[in-house]
Structure 1
Amino acid sequence: MHFSTILPVIAVALGAANAAPVDDGVVEPRGLECPHEMELLKLHGVPPGGVYTGVGTPDCCQNLPDNINDFDYPEVTPGFQCNIYTGRDCTGSFITVPGEVKYHDQEWRSWKCTRYE
């Protein structure tokens, strides 16, 4: 082999072996986990005959207050779909609204809404 053929191959191999991340001095701030809260969900018929208005951020779990665990029917902000869970922190079984489901069969503990397409 010729020396002129071997030298470029070695240079390329050493360049790849010495590659290291470059610190460009740019710091990207972390965003809040659940910014931009808005009205997403209403639970009608919360005992004794009231309405709970769920304010939160799309795609973020919200726990229901301890005194709210039953309702007559939900109403979702147009353009959204919500899951209402039996466990805190959006765990356990859930119902999806809008949709036809029985609301009085469980005690509800949390909810999360996402944009509906």
Structure 2
Amino acid sequence: KNEKDIESAHDTSENRGLSTDQIISIESLNVQEQVLMDRLKEASIVSLSIEKSAIRHQILAAENRAQIRYKTYDKNNMHWKHVDELMKDQRDIMSRIREFNYQPNETTLEKILESVHSSTKTVL
């Protein structure tokens, strides 16, 4: 008997099918894939939270500077322009957070998972 026949002697699958060990390995890879996706989501959430917090502090500091130098808001004043730019950045971050909450970044996940799948094909 060849090695595959010996390996699958106690297996209920067909001769050309996957062995129990191979099926277990594939399922293990699927679990690892899900864990990877969960970790990527967690990392993205933490990153966005840090970014949001940092921009909030920058806005407060920029507003204080702008009010000290030019008490009333003027969209043409360079200090108030800086505040406006930071607030636009904050809106962009909030938009990304909302987007993430409703639709995780599938393209990034897909790219990572493709590389995982291609490396596992060579193993199997």
Normalization by structure 1: what TM-score?
A: 0.23
Higher helix share: 2
Normalization by structure 2: what TM-score?
A: 0.22
Higher strand share: 1
